[in-house]
Structure 1
């Protein structure tokens, strides 16, 4: 049984889409996801600096959309491995309760014992880490899986997984949506 550390933002929660949606709702401009490829997160919007403020806005983390396929794959992983959700949530203190509530709603099978809210992730001791940020993977001692996000499109130093379906294949999980052949 492997220990797997999984990041929330950009991995379980689709923050890029959330930025795009919130920006469109507030400023009437829809930014194409592809236009954000290869640039730092929260940049690339017509009014620079505005999107970063979303991270400090009550309700932002609570209403983030779930990354497609994450619920099914993480449930399957947790049935075969020791799974911990690891989020550098203390950077945004108001996010702590919102992230806890979000996990309870969308991932009810993850118990409080398997949720780690921290600052730096250098403390994390696991066999695998799935994260979208180089700063979190760089010093990790186990197997590093970079979950694709617009801000990391230019990174080539890690094993990349683009979707949760690819994560399932990496860990040799049988997709939950596929029925066995009869």
Structure 2
């Protein structure tokens, strides 16, 4: 049984689509997802400064859409592995309760015992980390798996990571492993 840690924002919760939808609701202007490829997260919107404010707006994290396939694949991974959801949520304190509620609604099969909110993810030790940011994967001692998001597409910083373009890619990756890398003993 391998230990897998999974990021929330950009991996389970589709913040890119949420930014696009909230931006359109507030400005009347629709931005294409493709136009955000290779652009730092929260940038690439014509009216500067609006999107970063969303991260501090009550209800933003609570109402994010679920990335397709994440629920089914995570549930399946939990049958064979020790899975933890790890989010650097303390940067946005109002997000803590919203993320707990969001997980309870969309991932009710994940116990509170398998949810970790932290600041830096350098403290995290596991066999695999699925994340959309180099800053979280770079210092990880296990196998880093990059989940594709517009901000990491086509960026030189991300070229050496094993890329997961969808949750089907994640399912296929773990299904093809004869013996997953195990750096840690699963807790009993």
Task: Specify the SS of the correspondent of 2:84.
Answer: strand
Q: Any runs of at least 4 consecutive aligned residues in structure 1 with deviations exceeding 4 A, and if so which? A: none
Q: How far apart are residue 52 of structure 1 and its match?
A: 0.5
Q: How far apart are residue 83 of structure 1 and its match?
A: 0.2
Q: How far apart are residue 3 of structure 1 and its match?
A: 0.1
Give the 5 Å matches for 1:1-182.
1-153=1-153, 154=155, 155-172=158-175
Listed as ranges, the gaps of 5+ residues in structure 2 are: 177-188
Task: Specify the SS of the correspondent of 1:42.
Answer: coil
Task: Specify the SS of the correspondent of 2:18.
Answer: helix
Q: How far apart are residue 157 of structure 1 and its match?
A: 1.8
Task: Specify the SS of the correspondent of 1:146.
Answer: strand
Listed as ranges, the gaps of 5+ residues in structure 1 are: 174-182
Task: Specify the SS of the correspondent of 1:84.
Answer: strand
* Aligned residue-pair number: 173
Taking the aligned partners of 1:47 and 1:29, their CA distance within structure 2 comes to 10
Give the TM-score normalised by structure 2: 0.91
Note the alpha carbon deviations across 1:1-53, whole angstroms, 9 max, x for none. Answer: 00000000000000000000000011100100000000100000011111011
Taking the aligned partners of 2:55 and 2:160, their CA distance within structure 1 comes to 28
Note the alpha carbon deviations across 1:108-143, whole angstroms, 9 max, x for none. Answer: 010000000000000000000000000000000000
